[in-house]
């Protein structure tokens, strides 16, 4: 469980996140959604310690996120960003196995783990020797996902993982992600601005605006019992959802 207690983040006069309490359930997929600049990425960056909160505390499964503990915490979190964040000088295999090697885990088991993940993410084993420049956008995201899952983390964070992909590739990956999330049963936090994606992939949706949480619930909760006019507005703006 990821727990935010009275967490806020300010940059000088700009408030990225107003004081917030938030509980993200273990083993479930939670989507953070909202327009750009609403603070959803801030929440993710706070969890991995890329930024430090101005006030409040964050806990992951009982361990609080502090600068001293951050390396351990990060190694128990998988993180995927929009363009994959693969290192161009390393092959797919080297990217995915980077931390495995760094932590000097057995090489023989690494190969098995990689094949297992190729299977899970539907990435061809033959592509492991390729460099990011030789992969398609969708394949890069699959490798990025492999890298995030390599050490079998308890928590998986995805920051607009499909944002840069074309609709067909995107739809395919959405299907695969749903399967993966269900199969692994990890605590997943997904940042997106696409309500359809959130509704399809997530068990719980957290709708944010201007650094505040407006409503948390299932897609049904948000649609049928909107907390305020903005929630209805946000949902009806996503036209295709009306038919669901």
- Taking CB under 8 A as the criterion, which residues in 170-199 touch another protein? none
- Number of neighbours of residue 58 by Cβ within 10 angstroms: 21
Q: Find out whether 214 and 227 touch, Cβ atoms under 8 Å.
A: yes
- Binding residue (CB under 8 A) for another protein from 98, 125, 164, 184: 98
Phi, psi angle pair for 123, to nearest 5°:
-110, 130
Residue 195, CA distances (Å) to 3, 138, 175, 200 in order: 24, 21, 15, 8
**Quick one: CA torsion of 64, 70, 74, 76, rounded to 10 degrees?**
-50
Binding residue for another protein, selected from 79, 123, 181, 234, defined by CB under 8 A: 79
* Candidate list 75, 106, 112, 220; residue touching another protein; CB under 8 A: 75
| Residue 32: CB minimum distance to another protein, A | 17
Q: Which stretch binds another protein (CB under 8 A): 3-11, 29-37, 115-123, 130-138?
A: 130-138
Is the Cβ of residue 73 or residue 207 nearer to another protein in the bound state? Answer: 73
Looking at the Cβ atoms of 99 and 237, the one nearer to another protein is 99
The reply on whether position 104 binds another protein by CB under 8 A is: no
C-beta separation of 64 from 209 below 8 A: no
Helix spans in the chain (H) = 40-47, 70-75, 92-102, 107-121, 137-149, 167-184, 195-201, 219-224, 229-237
Q: Mark residues 136-165: x for contact with another protein by CB under 8 A, - for none.
A: -----------x------------------
State in angstroms the smallest separation of the CB of 54 from another protein.
20
The site for another protein (CB under 8 A) is made up of 48, 50, 71-75, 77, 79, 81-83, 85-91, 98-99, 102, 131-134, 147
């Amino acid at each position: 469980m990821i727990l935010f207690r009275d967490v806020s983040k300010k940059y000088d006069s700009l408030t990225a996140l107003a004081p917030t309490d938030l509980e993200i359930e273990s083993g479930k997929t939670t989507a953070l959604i909202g327009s750009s600049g609403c603070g959803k990425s801030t929440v993710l960056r706070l969890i991995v310690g890329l930024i430090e909160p101005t006030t409040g505390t964050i806990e992951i499964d009982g361990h609080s996120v502090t600068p001293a503990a951050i390396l351990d915490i990060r190694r128990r979190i998988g993180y995927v960003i929009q363009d994959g964040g693969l290192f161009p000088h390393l092959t797919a295999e080297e990217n995915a196995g980077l931390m495995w090697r760094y932590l000097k885990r057995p090489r023989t088991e690494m190969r098995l783990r990689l094949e297992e993940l190729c299977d899970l993410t539907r990435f061809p084993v033959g592509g492991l020797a390729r460099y990011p420049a030789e992969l398609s956008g969708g394949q890069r995201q699959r490798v990025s996902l492999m890298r995030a899952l390599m050490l079998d983390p308890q928590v998986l964070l995805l920051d607009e993982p499909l944002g840069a992909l074309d609709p067909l590739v995107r739809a395919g990956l959405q299907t695969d992600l749903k399967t993966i999330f269900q199969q692994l049963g990890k605590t997943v936090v997904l940042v997106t601005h696409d309500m359809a994606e959130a509704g399809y992939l997530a068990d719980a949706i957290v709708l944010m605006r201007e650094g505040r949480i407006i409503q948390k619930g299932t897609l049904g909760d948000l649609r049928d019992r909107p907390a305020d006019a903005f929630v209805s507005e946000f949902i009806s703006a996503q036209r295709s959802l009306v038919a669901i």
